[in-house]
Amino acid sequence: MRNFLLLGLTIALLGVQEIKAQEHRFDPPWNTPPESALNFTVPGIDNIPDLYGDIENPQLTVFFAGNQFMVVDDLLASFKQEYPQYERIFVETLPPGILAKQIKGGSITIGNLRITHKPDIYTASKRAINEMADYFSHTQVYCYNNICLMVPKGNPANISTLNDLGNDKVRISMPNPQWEGIGEQIKASYRKAGGEQLVKKIMEDKVNDGSTYLTKIHHRESPMRVLYG
């Protein structure tokens, strides 16, 4: 009985140590939170970083492509300064493919929260916008961007070209084409750089052995995987 109790105590203590060892120092949200009477954000548990602003009866609802969370603070501040009548704005910064499914289905559930807001504005790639053209009265190109590689500080794996990503020792984190259209563009870049051999290596072989990780929410998972190593 004594041995059993000691073993139980050891397991319990190890469990506590593992919980304390969890790191949240880089966890989102990375935006400036709106002012409120109470800010109850618990890193790693209650943080909902891709829902922003006033969810109750918003005057304007915007669905941004996920990686545009970086401009939300400055953009909304400037917008409200120019259009002060818009006091309650609700923003989502989820992957465009997820936002498209939300628009088509009329709702989304995140954790225990169900959202049924319809966007006044939806931003996404040209292909995604074309596929959603029937849902909006007007579409307009407003920016262009380039695909780039993000590596840990100092570039320890000496990545210089896309072909370097075929190395068995290189771990890759990239958008899953199933969720984000940019994933197909990345595959096309692999094909242009190294042909079907590189595409197969990265998108099949390395996915199977775990060295290529296909994200569900690339603009959060990939930076965190780099930050936490």
Q: Contact, 181 vs 96, CB < 8 A?
A: yes
Share of the chain above pLDDT 70, in %: 90
Say which DSSP state 108 is in. E
Q: Contact, 173 vs 210, CB < 8 A?
A: no
> What are 116-173's pLDDT values in tens digits?
999 999 998 888 888 888 999 998 888 887 778 888 889 999 999 999 999 999 999 9
The secondary structure of 29-71 as a DSSP string is P-SPPPP-S----BTTTB--TTEEE--SS-SEEEE--GGGGGG
Domain with CATH 3.40.190 in the chain: 24-145
Report the C-alpha gap between 34 and 81 in whole angstroms.
15
Fold of the domain built from segment(s) 24-145: D-Maltodextrin-Binding Protein; domain 2 (3.40.190)
Report the C-alpha gap between 77 and 63 in whole angstroms.
17
Checking if the pLDDT of 103 tops 90, the result is: yes
Looking at residue 22, what is its pLDDT?
63
Looking at residue 187, what is its pLDDT?
93
Checking if the pLDDT of 85 tops 60, the result is: yes
> What are 168-195's pLDDT values in tens digits?
999 999 998 887 778 888 999 999 999 9
Looking at residue 16, what is its pLDDT?
47
What long-range pairs does 115-122 form, CB within 8 A, spacing at least 24? 115/51, 115/55, 117/55, 117/58, 117/61, 117/90, 118/61, 119/61, 119/62, 119/63, 119/92, 120/60, 120/61, 120/62, 121/60, 121/61, 121/62, 121/63, 122/62, 122/63
Helix, strand, coil fractions of the chain, as percent rounded to 5: 45, 15, 45
Task: Give the three-state DSSP class for 114.
Answer: strand
Chain centroid to Cα 108, Å, comes to: 16
Position with higher pLDDT, 88 vs 16: 88
Q: Contact, 28 vs 49, CB < 8 A?
A: yes
